[in-house]
Chains A and B, each alone.
Chain A
Amino acid sequence: MSDSTRRQFLRVTAAGSAAVVLSGAPGAAWARKPAPAAAGRTRAYVLVVDGCKPGEITAALTPRLAQLRAEGTTFPTARSLPVMETIPNHVMMMTGARPDRTGVPANKIFDRAEAVQRDLDRPSDLRFITLLEQLNGTGRTTGTVLSKEYLYGIFGERATYRWEPAPIVPVSGHAPDAATMDALIAMVDSADPDFVFANLGDVDRMGHSDLTGTTLEVARTAALASTDLQVGRFVDRLKATGKWDSSVVLVLADHSMDWSIPTNVISVDRILSVRSDLSSQTQIAQNGGADLLYWVGDAAVKDAALAEIRALVLVHPGVLAVNTPTQLRLGPEAGDLVATCRAGWRFSDPYVVSNPIPGNHGHPATEPIPFFVSGGSPRVVRGKVSSEPARTIDVAPTVGALFGIKAPQGGYDGTARMVAFNA
C-alpha cells in the first residue's frame, strides 16, 4: 500500500448483489485468494445470537444451531451477567472483565460529567484491553461484524477489520441478520481474519417489538428460523472455502428475553413522586428489566436518601431486588442503586408509557443463555455437555487460551472453558 496511515475501505459485492463496505486498519491486507491450508492455523468465530433463550434452540426450529450444539461442547447452565443488557455483555465477552474494571455496566447510563442520559456507545467508554487488541498485538488479525449501531460504536476501530452495520432498520437501530451475514461472509472471504466477533440482532429485535410476545411469540419464532438459516449459510461458506476444518465457532447469547404485559410496569419516577425531595434529586437510567438510580442531590444526605429510595422501591410488587453497583460488580458508572424487576415485569421511566416494549431483559429472569463451542477444528470436543457455569465473561479467556494469549494485567474475571477443547 502506498499510504499506510489511512484507513482502508473495501467494497465487495455480497449475495443478492448488495454492496458490503468493510474498513481496515492501516496496513491491513485483503487476501482475496482462497486461504492457504496453513498447518496448525486456528480460526475462531464468536457468534452472538442476541437475546436468544437457551430453550429456543431446537432441532425443529433452529436445526443448524442445534446441530452445531450437538457436535460441540455445550454449557446448559450458562448465564449472562449484570446488567443483562447487550453492550455490557458484549464488552464482558471481549474483555473477560467485570464492568467495575471495564467501565461498561449497562446500555444506558446517566453521565454525571455531561449531565445527560446516554448509551455507552463511544470507543472511549471501554477502558479495558480487549481480546481484539490482544490478538492484534500478537500479529494476528481480527474482525468485528456487529449488527447494532451502539456495538459498532463502542468497539470502534479496535479490530483489524470492521463492518459498519448497514442498512439500518429504523427505530431498532440494527442491521438485519441477512445483511450482517453478508458482511461476515464477505469479511472472511476477503480478509480471512484469525478471529471475528459477530452479533446477529434479529432475534433480540423481534423479541422486543413482538407485540404477540406474551402469547404466541410468532415474529420471534420467525426470526429464530431466519437467523438459523443465516448461521447455516456461514457454516456452509466455511466448508465451501476450506476453512471449516480449522474453525472454532463459539455461539452464545448476550442475555435472554422476558415478556411483560402492559399492566406489569414499574415506574420508579412515579414511586418517588410522593417524595419530590427525592425524585427531583434522582436520575434514572432505564435498562428494560433494570433501572440504574443516581443521586444527584446534596452529598451530605446521600446515604439517608438512598436508604429511603431503596425502601420505597422495594415495596413495589414488581421489584425483585435493589442492589448497590458494588454488589453486582458494576462500578461507579452504574450510579448508586440498581433495581431489578421480577419475571413478567418491566421498568418504564420516567412515565409508565415511556417503555412500551413488551420484551425486556436486564433482570435476573433473563440470565440463562445458550453457550456452546463447536466447529470443524479437531480441537473441539464433540458431543459433550458440561455442568461448568459458563458466563459471557468466559469468552475472552476461552478464545484467548485457544490462541495462547496471556491474561490481561490483573487477570481475567472469567474462566477459560478448556473442557471444550482437546489438549
Chain B
Amino acid sequence: MTLLQKSPGAVRSKTGFWPNNRATIIGVSILTLVVIILPFTATSTMMNIAVFSMIFALPAIGLSLLMGLAGQVSLGQAAFFAIGAYTHAILLQKFEMPGVVAAVGGVVAAMLAALLVGLPMLRLRGHYLALATLGLGFIVMIAVREWEFTGRTTGIYGFGRPEVFGIPIDNNGLFFWYVAPFVIVGLVLALNLTRSRAGRALSSVNDSELAAESLGVNTYALRVKVFTLSAGLAGLGGVFYAYQVQIVSPQMAEFNVSVELLLMVVLGGLGSVWGAIAGAFIVELLSEGLRDLIPAIIPGATGEVQLIGYGLVLILVILLLPGGLYQAVRTVWAAIRRRTAARRVAAAALVPDGTADAGAGDAPTRAFGGVPGEPAAPHGAAAVDEEGVPNVPGVSTPLAEGEAILEVRGLTKRYGGVVAVDDVSFTVPAGRIMGLIGPNGAGKTTCFNMITGAITPTSGTVTFLGEEVQGRKPHVGAVRGLTRTFQNLQVFSSTDVVGNVYMGRYREGRAGIIRGMLGLQGREQYRNEEIARDLLDTMRLGDVAELAAGDLPFGRQRMMEVCRALASEPALLLLDEPMAGLSGKEREMLASLLRALRDAGLTIVLVEHDVAQVLALADTVAVLDDGVLIAYGEPEAVRNDPAVIVAYLGTDADEAKHELEELEEHA
C-alpha cells in the first residue's frame, strides 16, 4: 500500500519534529561565554558597537517574531522603541519613580500603543499594518517634538544610569553585562515561542490561514498578541537606549531607525531569532563603517549617509538570499553534515544498526485521544491488515445517535444579483453520514463554506450543538468540534506530516503564548505529538510521518488531511469532495474508513460529485440544484425522486434512470 517507504523502518526520531534543543543549549552557552569575555578584550569603539547591537537586538527579536510568526511587518518599530524610551525617561525624570517601575512603565506603554494600532489593523490583511506603523513613527516623532511635556526638539535628559546591587553601571563594559542577560533571556523566550503550540499555529496560518482556522486557531487574536509582544521588546530596547545615551529625543522615532531594525531582521533571516541577533551586530558594524567610509569617498557628505548601505543590502538580500544569513548558515551546515554522515555510513557499513527496527515494537499502546474509558484502537494490527483498510481511531460524540447535531435554517447567499444558495434548510442527525450532492454550480461548496464559516451567509442560521455559528470565523465552530477537509488540499507545507496532524490537536491544547515562551508546555506537546503519531499509524501513514507534507502523493495528502481533521476529535466532520482525485482503491479505502467512523459514532457530512459513492455511503442525502434544496431524505428515496433525476441528468427521466443504474454498478 505504501508508495514511499522510509528506510530503515519507521524509527520515531524526534529531531525532525522538535527543533534541536541541544543546538540551542550549545548556541546559548557560546553566546553567554562571548558576552562574558567581550568587555575584557574589545576596544572601546568595538565595545560601543557591541552595546548598541545588544540594545537594538531586543526590538529586532520582536520584529523577527512579528515577521516570522504573524507574517506581518512593522515599519514603525522605532516608534515603539521611542515610546518605551520616552515613557521611561518621563517616569524617571518628572515623577522620580524607581528605575524598575519606570522601565516596566516604558515596556507597558509600548505594548498599549501596539494594541491601539494592532486591534484595528490586524483585522485586515495586506499592507495596512505596515503602512499604519510607518504612520505611527511619524505621529510619535511629531507628538514628542510638538509637546512641551516631552521637551520638544531637545528631548528629555539628566537622568543617571542605574545602580545594580550598589554598583553604578557607569561604563560600556558594565552596561553591556547589564543588557546582555535581557537579550539572552529574550532570545530563549522567543525561541521557545516559535516552537510552542502558538508558534506552530502561527506558522500554519502562514501556510494556509483557512486550514488553520478550521482546526480552531484564532488567527487574529494570536497576531495581536505577537504584535504586542514585539512592541514590548522594542519598548524594552528603548528603555536601555535611554539609559545608555542618557537623553531621549525625537530622532529616536525616525524612519531610519525603523529601517535599521528591519534590515537587521531581513539580513539575519526572516523569522529567525538567532538571525535577528546576528543581524543587529552586523548592521551596527555596517553603520559604523559606512559613517566613516562614505564621507571619505564623497567629500562633504553628512547626515544619515549609512542609509545607502541599508537600501542596497535590503534589496540585495531579498533578491539574492531571501532567507538571510540563517539560510546561508543552514545550507553550509547541511552540506557539512551530509559529508560527515556519508563518511560515517561508509565506516559503519559492516556493522548492523541495532536501532533500526526498534520503532514498531516500541509503539505506545495508548488509545487515540487518551481519554479514559474510550475504546482503544488496536495498534499492532495497523501494519498487517490485509484489506488495506485503516483502523478506526476512537471518536467521541457529545450527542446520542439521531439527535440533531447541525441545523441549517433558511441559509441564503447572494452575490450581487445572483443567488448562489437560496433558503436551504436541513438537519444533520448525530452518528450518521449525510451526503450533499448536486450538479456543478448547484451551490454545494458555497453551502459547505457557509456552514464551516469560510464565508458569511446573506441570511439564515447554522446551529451547531445548539449554538449559532453562521458568519463567525471558522475557528469558532472548530473549537466546538466542527472541522473540515478541503477539496483543493490545504496542507501545511512548512512542516512534516506529523506536524500537520499535530496541528489537528490544537483544539485539545491549552498553552498560550506566555506558557509557550516559558517552555512550560512540553508535556502537553509531547502527549499531543504521540497522539498524532498514533493516529498516523492507525491511518497507515506512520511510515511517512517525517516527510515534508507537500512531498506526499496526492492521495496520501488527502488521507493526511482527513487524519489531521480526525486528530481534533471532532463531533462533526465535513469533507469537501473527499473522493476527487483519488484512485478507485483509495476511494474504497476512504469509504470503508468513513463507514467505520460513522459506526464508531462520528457524524459526517460530505459534499461529493460522485453520486453513486454518496448514495452507497450516506444515511441521508440532500440534493441541491441551482441553489435550491430539491430533495432530502434516505438514499433510496432520493434516488427515485423525479426532481433529482431531472436535475442531474437532463429532462429525459428514463434515460436518466438508466444512467443512474449504470453508475451504481460501477460503485
Do chains A and B stick together as partners?
no
